Amino acid sequence: MIDLLIYDAGQVCVVPSQEGAPQRGEALGSLELIEGGAVAIDGGRILAVGPSEHLRAEYTARHEINADGCAVVPGLVDPHTHLVWAGDRAAEFEMRIAGATYMEIMAAGGGINSTVRHVRAASLEQLVAETEARLDRMLRLGTTTVEIKTGYGLDVENELKLLEAIYRLDASHPVDIVATFLGAHAVPPEYEGRTDDYVALIITEMIPAVVEFARSRGQPPPFIDVFCEEGVFDLDQSRRILEAGKAHGMPLKIHADEFAGLGGTKLAVELGATSADHLVRTPAEDIRALGQGETVAVALPATPFGLGEREYTPAREIIRAGGALALATDCNPGTAWCESMQFVMALACRAMRITPAEALAAATLNAAYAVGRGGQLGSLESGKQADLLILDAPDYRHLAYRFGGNVVKTVIKRGQVWNS
Ligand code: NIG
Ligand code: FE
């Protein structure tokens, strides 16, 4: 007797890994569709996928769901968010519409530092409550795993407050959370004009404190990330921060080439980073590097969309170079308050010219690899965690074809059913 059997799906999209690796280059978009398929689940894991007749003959389940011709896909993985924050930046949105740029607003003390002021003033409980509401909406939209960065505290005490909020939410919320330390998100006001002193603080105090805090909570060292950008952290500062994190056992991520191509993507590949994210103004040489290394390229199309800009990640060039492409929301109060991976998929197809199949693989399997969980999550292969979606549509393409709504009918997280 197994826990759950889902049968008579219009199609089951397996999204297989490529010999234990993400789908790279032209292999992106391999879905392995099983028409009239079924999924057998036990102990929170996928036991088998296959034709409904076979699985119904083989297993009896405590609970059965007739998918009634609807598509079944892996749960969506959102591998880049800044989800724990307080306050909002609606006024800055209006300034940008009137012509101010994101970096101008940031240089004038707004932007990230405006959210830092709200976060420093907020209690842990307030941060947890505000983020929980966002996570609830994300789960209903089909996101079953989300990466969350710190980066709005920018001192030891407040960065640890954000990390504590992330750990509490991971323990209490059905969505799985992957933590990232982003002390190098901006230079805080008390270090204005002294970026190197702030970098020294990150390296000598913050990184050891974060790793010790994680250990005290029974957690592995979180990812470390840097906003490598003109006017924020330059390439050399980014390298020093990432190398220090690596020396403390932290896996690496980077914000690279959002506004200027400084070489951050190549640096990420050189250091063996798990992912390099944004990649809008990425130099040709860095795109080639992505095809040669293990670093996953994470495109965040909701960000140029949110900023009203026209340039997006050159996804087709990354695919042609043999890179592994993933998608994420970048959900944050400044550039992209977007909680929907479905919207990101729809936008990616239109703005970056990828196919719905490529978008699905980039938002599931490859996104799982972008947070170091590709071995456990992101596809409907036996042995993986049972995180999957039953759509309110017969075909996975509806996830990208429609936009602005919710095509997900039922979310199954670790084998537990959540109806929306
Ligand atoms: O990924 N670019 C830096 N960080 C975020 C924006 C954060 C904010 O503006 O609050 C991003 O777009
Ligand atoms: Fe970001």
The closest alpha carbon to 340, from 385, 305, 316, belongs to: 305
The residue type at 395 = D
One domain for residues 400 and 360? no
Give 35 Cα–ligand 1 centroid separation in angstroms: 41
Of 369, 388, 411, the residue at which a domain comes to its end is 369
Query: What is the pLDDT at residue 53?
Result: 98
CA geometry: angle 298, 299, 300, nearest 5 deg: 120
Rounded Cα distance between 50 and 116, Å, is 50
One domain for residues 35 and 169? no
> Is position 116 within any domain?
yes
| Mean predicted lDDT score pLDDT of the chain | 97
Residue range(s) defining the domain that contains residue 197: 77-369
One domain for residues 97 and 172? yes
Query: What is the pLDDT at residue 419?
Result: 76
> Is position 374 within any domain?
no
Rounded to an integer, the average pLDDT of 239-246 is 98
Summarize pLDDT for 161-188 with one digit per residue, the tens. Answer: 999 999 999 999 999 999 999 999 999 9
Give yes or no for a contact between 159 and 398, defined as CB atoms under 8 angstroms apart.
no
DSSP-assigned beta bridge partners for residue 413: 416
Pocket test for ligand 1, best of 83, 103, 112, 309 (most atoms within 8 A of CB): 112
Residues lining ligand 1, judged by CB closer than 6 Å? 82, 111-112, 115, 227, 255, 258, 303, 330, 332-335
One domain for residues 284 and 393? no
Give 212 Cα–ligand 2 centroid separation in angstroms: 25
Rounded to an integer, the average pLDDT of 290-305 is 98
**Nearest ligand by distance to the CA of 333:** 1
Closest approach atom of ligand 1 to CA 152: 10
One domain for residues 160 and 20? no
Give 14 Cα–ligand 2 centroid separation in angstroms: 29
CATH label of the domain that carries residue 56: 2.30.40.10
Summarize pLDDT for 10-43 with one digit per residue, the tens. Answer: 999 999 999 999 999 999 999 999 999 999 999 9
Burial category of 132 from C-beta neighbours within 10 Å (exposed 0-12, middle 13-18, buried 19 and up): middle
> Is position 171 within any domain?
yes
Closest approach atom of ligand 1 to CA 106: 9
Nearest CA to ligand 1 atom 12: 335
Q: Model confidence at 302, in pLDDT bands (50, 70, 90)?
A: very high
Q: Model confidence at 329, in pLDDT bands (50, 70, 90)?
A: very high
**Nearest ligand by distance to the CA of 302:** 1
**Nearest ligand by distance to the CA of 106:** 1
CATH label of the domain that carries residue 132: 3.20.20.140
141, two tokens:
């939209």
One domain for residues 254 and 314? yes
Determine how β-strand 416-419 pairs with β-strand 408-413: antiparallel
Give 81 Cα–ligand 2 centroid separation in angstroms: 6
pTM, rounded to two decimals: 0.98
One domain for residues 144 and 223? yes
DSSP assignment string, 76-137:
EEE--------S--HHHHHHHHTT--HHHHHHTT-THHHHHHHHHHS-HHHHHHHHHHHHHH
**Nearest ligand by distance to the CA of 81:** 2
One domain for residues 58 and 207? no
Give 253 Cα–ligand 2 centroid separation in angstroms: 10
DSSP-assigned beta bridge partners for residue 256: 228, 278
Nearest CA to ligand 1 atom 2: 227
Give 140 Cα–ligand 1 centroid separation in angstroms: 24
Give 112 Cα–ligand 1 centroid separation in angstroms: 7
One domain for residues 360 and 397? no
Give yes or no for a contact between 104 and 113, defined as CB atoms under 8 angstroms apart.
no
> Is position 346 within any domain?
yes
Summarize pLDDT for 80-103 with one digit per residue, the tens. Answer: 999 999 999 999 999 999 999 999
Closest approach atom of ligand 1 to CA 258: 2
Give 332 Cα–ligand 1 centroid separation in angstroms: 6
Res 420 pLDDT > 70: no
One domain for residues 364 and 384? no
One domain for residues 336 and 299? yes
Rounded to an integer, the average pLDDT of 139-152 is 98
The residue type at 356 = P
State the total domains in the chain: 2
Summarize pLDDT for 146-163 with one digit per residue, the tens. Answer: 999 999 999 999 999 999
Positive or negative, the CA dihedral 114, 115, 116, 122 is: positive
Three-state secondary structure of 31-54: CCEEEEEEEEEECCEEEEEEEHHH
Rounded Cα distance between 192 and 16, Å, is 48
- Host H or E run for residue 388: strand 388-391
One domain for residues 83 and 60? no
Closest approach atom of ligand 1 to CA 336: 12
Summarize pLDDT for 194-221 with one digit per residue, the tens. Answer: 999 999 999 999 999 999 999 999 999 9
